[in-house]
Structure 1
Amino acid sequence: MLNAENAEPLYIQLKNAVQSAIANGSFNQGDKIPTEIELAETYNVSRITVRKAIEELVRDGYLTKRQGKGTFVNRPKIGRKIEHIISFTAACKANGVSSHSIVTERKKLKADSDTAERLQIQPGESVLYIQRQRYAGEQPLMLENNYYPFDRFAFLMEANLEGSIYELLRSEYNIDPNQPGETILQIVLADEPQAKLLEVPIGQPLFYMNTIIYDQYSKPVHVGKQFIIGDRYQFTL
């Protein structure tokens, strides 16, 4: 219970109590927490105290308010340094989260002028387009769209791509995607197809990362156009 005689304000005590409940698993990621009235009764404090504690927890990223639905415990954010090459699988592992992928499209296309220039091939030459849903835990987090020079990466047409493509390239083909080229990071709003694949509402803010990755010999590996759920991912510069 909270202690009114403690020098620490009651709303801070309540904030700490909710944080502890999240940390020890009493409130799990994605759970709806009790209402303001229920928390006020449980901890014997005013609704104003509860509201202030909740506002602080929302501001700090522990909780999210959903209009008309309640307040929910946030899923953990996956973090990575934008200037370093680290696969999605490795980023999830580093953050203590399981991962897997589902291939939604895999086909041969003709390169447009921009993609051809970045992959150092001629416009109209074949590229291998692979789209995957990337899952962190049980929920999709990223919609990955990669374009590979077809002649060099045709073997990916038949490969099992549930895990890390980077690890597959390193272990089986001596191709090490270890050099990032120019990377552009923007905020966009999810359109209908993206929202469906990422299981978010249309208009949800997404990170859009447009990048080119090279191997250890400075040969282009792929152009990447990735859409990432903004409130579950963070980049460190």
Structure 2
Amino acid sequence: MLDANNTIPLYLQMKELVKKDILDREYSSGEQLPTEPELCEKYGVSRITVRKAVEELCKEGFLVKKQGKGTFVRPKKIQRKIEHLMSFTQACQNNGMEPSTSVLKREFVQLEPRLAEEFHLRPRLPMIMIQRLRKADGIPVMLENNYYPREDFTFLMEESLDGSLYQLLEDKYHVMIESSRDSYLDVVKADAEQARVLELGCGEPLFCMTAKIFDSRDRLVHVGVEYIVCERYRFGLVDYYKTR
């Protein structure tokens, strides 16, 4: 409980209580915080005290304000080494999070000239485009756009793709993912559609990861363009030691 006679200001006392509630998961990752009046009633303080406590928690990275929506518990970030070829499912599991997937698009297309040039492939190459929304603990993290050569992967049009696609390819079709090439990481601003799907504000930063993925026979499996929410994902760099 808050103590008005304590030398520690009320807003700092409240900050510590809310922080404890977050760490104890009374407020879960990504959850919206109660409204100001509700917080005033719960902690028995004024709106000014609530605002100062929330501001401190935002500075410390426990909360995040979203314009027009409210204040939310900052989602836990998925962490992975940037050198590793790792599926989203595996990355979630390594971070103690529950992955889930929704298929948004699955269609026959011809590879756009822009992507063909970027990946050094033949323009208008017949492909299967699969777009999936990837979530961790129910929170949108990644919008995944993968292009598979139509000639080799037509079977994907009939498969359930709500789990690990790499695991499906390995277990059922004996396609062993082996390597990635021409991989790049950029930062872009979310357009209106990306913002809607990823539940962000338009213009918020996204990692954009592009790569070509090959199997153990050195066959192209897919080219990928992934849009990843920056505030929900963290890439680690490879440790480097100077040789003497």
TM-score tier, shorter chain, comes to 0.7 to 0.9
Larger CA deviation: 102-111 vs 83-92: 102-111
Partner secondary structure for residue 177 of structure 2: coil
**Contact residue 119 and residue 182 of structure 2 kept, 8 A:** no
In structure 2, C-alpha distance between the alignment counterparts of 1:37 and 1:161, rounded to whole Å: 41
Structure 2 counterpart of 1:149: 149
> Quick one: which amino acid aligns to residue 19 of structure 1?
K
Structure 2 counterpart of 1:64: 64
Q: Give the 3 Å change call, closer, same or farther, for CA 119–203 of structure 1 in structure 2.
A: closer
In structure 1, C-alpha distance between the alignment counterparts of 2:115 and 2:217, rounded to whole Å: 20
Structure 2 counterpart of 1:102: 102
> Quick one: which amino acid aligns to residue 226 of structure 2?
Q
**Contact residue 120 and residue 220 of structure 1 kept, 8 A:** no
Structure 1 counterpart of 2:236: 236
**Contact residue 36 and residue 47 of structure 2 kept, 8 A:** no
Structure 1 counterpart of 2:183: 183
Q: Give the 3 Å change call, closer, same or farther, for CA 116–68 of structure 1 in structure 2.
A: closer
Larger CA deviation: 223-232 vs 177-186: 177-186
Structure 1 counterpart of 2:242: none
In structure 1, C-alpha distance between the alignment counterparts of 2:32 and 2:122, rounded to whole Å: 51
Structure 1 counterpart of 2:240: none
Partner secondary structure for residue 206 of structure 2: strand
Partner secondary structure for residue 17 of structure 1: helix
- Partner deviation per Cα, 1:57-109 (whole Å, 9 max, x = no partner): 32332101234654321222222222111111111222222222222211222
Larger CA deviation: 168-177 vs 111-120: 111-120
Structure 2 counterpart of 1:128: 128
**Contact residue 119 and residue 221 of structure 1 kept, 8 A:** no
- Partner deviation per Cα, 1:213-232 (whole Å, 9 max, x = no partner): 22223332211111122222
Larger CA deviation: 34-43 vs 21-30: 34-43
State the Cα distance separating 1:113 from its structure 2 match. 5.1
> What percentage of residue pairs aligned between the two structures are identical?
40
Structure 2 counterpart of 1:212: 212
TM-score with structure 2 setting the length? 0.79
Structure 2 counterpart of 1:81: 81
Partner secondary structure for residue 163 of structure 1: coil
State the Cα distance separating 1:140 from its structure 2 match. 2.6
State the Cα distance separating 1:22 from its structure 2 match. 0.7
In structure 2, C-alpha distance between the alignment counterparts of 1:13 and 1:19, rounded to whole Å: 10
In structure 1, C-alpha distance between the alignment counterparts of 2:182 and 2:191, rounded to whole Å: 25
Q: Give the 3 Å change call, closer, same or farther, for CA 189–160 of structure 1 in structure 2.
A: same
In structure 1, C-alpha distance between the alignment counterparts of 2:131 and 2:195, rounded to whole Å: 15
Any gaps of 5 or more consecutive residues in structure 2? Answer: 238-244
Q: Give the 3 Å change call, closer, same or farther, for CA 85–232 of structure 1 in structure 2.
A: same
Over the aligned positions, Cα root-mean-square deviation in angstroms equals 3.2
State the Cα distance separating 1:56 from its structure 2 match. 4.1
Structure 1 counterpart of 2:164: 164
Partner secondary structure for residue 61 of structure 1: coil
Structure 1 counterpart of 2:226: 226
Matched, 1:199 2:199: yes
In structure 1, C-alpha distance between the alignment counterparts of 2:235 and 2:175, rounded to whole Å: 26
> Quick one: which amino acid aligns to residue 92 of structure 1?
C
Q: Give the 3 Å change call, closer, same or farther, for CA 81–39 of structure 1 in structure 2.
A: farther
Larger CA deviation: 137-146 vs 166-175: 137-146
**Contact residue 28 and residue 73 of structure 2 kept, 8 A:** yes
State the Cα distance separating 1:146 from its structure 2 match. 0.4
Larger CA deviation: 166-175 vs 10-19: 10-19
